[in-house]
Amino acid sequence: MDFTPHDDLAAHRDAARRWGAEHLRPEWVADERLRGDHHHAELHRLLADQGLLAAGWPPEHGGSAVDERFADAVFDEIHDYGLASDGWITTWMVLKTLQRVGTEEQKRAVIPAALRGEVIIALGYTEPGCGSDLAAARTRAVRAGDGWLIDGAKMFTSTADRATHVFLLTRTSAPKHRGLTFFLVPLDAPGVEIQPVHTVGGQRTNATFYSGVRVPDGARVGDVDGGWDVVRIAMVFERGTRNGNHRPGLLDRVVADRPDLLSDPGAAGTLARLRIDEEVARLLTARAEWITRNGGLPGVEGSMAKLYTSEAAQRQHSALLDLLGPEGVLDQRAPDAPVAGEVEFAFRNSLVDTIYGGTSEIMREIVAAGRLGLPRSRPAT
């Protein structure tokens, strides 16, 4: 595997830059940060209308003729511009999971609609008091005729206020790991309530509540009591995607804004180490994406990428704040904020990087067992 940017990809990067110059608007970034939304509806509609969401997907699932490499370059450009696309990232994770474990009806109905921008899916995993222990889920789903009734609560259901559906982990029987079942629940269903939760990173996430929510059995994803197998697949795709808070290009913008940093040997050394971090993170992520694109599941590779990239992002943003000094904590509303306040925003936003998608401790256990062959630190259940 060779992840060197070859000349045949340079054309896509140049085309993506031209696309960004034509379509991306600075007010979208400011609006997204001030409102705390990590999903911009106008941008999402644009990507859908131009077939960029559907790039690389098979025609039978609504795929477009857009070159997947160009679409990848466009998403890089969007990310580098300072815009998030969390709504699409979580939707993509669920669509990839449906490809593996969904019914034919779900594949025909949900995937094409999502690629057209009509369906956006949030993740309903974490519960109050359960932390990262997904197997401790208490949200109940019980049989009710030919469907199910769901009662419970989820925490950190990000983009639920913008989404159409939630990929909901529920408990359908008593055993901890073998009593879980997934459902794709419409967020406009009677009995669903969404309450905002504003975070120190500036993002709006949500608490969601489910009171007697009725869904048909066709909304079930995977086998009854087979949710643990489904979540293991879904988490592989989550960890194998690009970390949402890692900001390629931020180093260049800081140096362009403060070129005097390069004249200080200590500061220059720090910037060099951060650049190495960026390159290692890029290579690890590229390997996980390559495995996914070729039909594999990057289990250990995705965990390696998630672990390194999330910790590298925190190191980078903390170090840049130190280099910028007191001015570094100015946000975008301050006229003299370095890099328009992006470093301050990135630092706050990256605080949760090592928690989302599994903590660093869990990632280290997966790598230790799956790649190094070390024994598990606790017995499997």
Which positions are annotated as active-site residues?
238
Spell out a b/e string for 276-301, using b for 16 or more CB atoms within 10 Å of the CB, else e.
Answer: ebbeebbebbbbbbbbbeeeebbbbb
- The residue count for the chain: 381
Q: Contact 286/321 with Cβ under 8 angstroms?
A: no
* Backbone conformation region of residue 358, classed left if phi is above 0, alpha if psi is from -120 to 50, else beta: left
Q: Running DSSP on this structure, what letter comes out for residue 172?
A: -
**Long-range Cβ contacts of 333-340 (<8 Å, 24+ apart):** 338/254, 338/257, 338/258, 339/250, 339/253, 339/254, 339/257
**345: nearest Cα among 321, 378, 311:** 321
The answer to whether the Cα torsion of 293, 296, 299, 304 is positive or negative is negative
Q: ∠ CA 133-136-140 to the nearest 5 degrees?
A: 140
Using CA atoms, how far apart are residues 296 and 237, in angstroms rounded to an integer? 10
Three-class SS of residue 103? coil
Q: Please report which helix (H) or strand (E) contains residue 215, including its range.
A: strand 204-216
Encoded tokens for 41: 């509806």
Using CA atoms, how far apart are residues 244 and 217, in angstroms rounded to an integer? 33
**196: nearest Cα among 156, 144, 142:** 156
